[in-house]
Amino acid sequence: MKLSEFAEKSQNSMDIEKDLTKQYDEMKNLSHDELLNRLREDIKRQKANGSFNYDAMLNSLNQIRAYLPNGVYENMIRIIDEINGKD
């Protein structure tokens, strides 16, 4: 790997971390119900405009799983599956 490629990957990682921190700060004071409602609305919006990607949504959720109580994670999976049409 070239130094420039390493620098680019490092910058991308820092940008992702900054984005996650910003999103966390925006949502950290929301209640459980508010977070689940945001998830529902986000999925509905994505499905309506044709950008919903079930696998990408699960991947994103799995990336933050360590920060979620187990019951919240399970509820979010259930909501994603329900909206995606899987049971």
Model pLDDT, residue 3: 58
Stated as kind and residue range, the H or E segment containing 17 is helix 3-27
Paired tokens of 49: 């405009």
How many beta carbons lie within 10 A of that of residue 60, not counting itself?
11
Amino acid at 64: I
Quote the CA–CA distance of 69 and 66 in Å, as a whole number.
8
Does the pLDDT value for residue 6 go beyond 60?
no
Model pLDDT, residue 25: 79
Angle CA 29–69–23, to nearest 5:
40
In this prediction, residues 12-31 reach a mean pLDDT of: 76
Task: Please say whether the beta carbons of 43 and 80 come within 8 A.
Answer: yes
Tell me the pLDDT tens digit for each residue of 40-78: 888 888 888 998 888 888 888 888 888 788 888 888 888
Model pLDDT, residue 1: 58
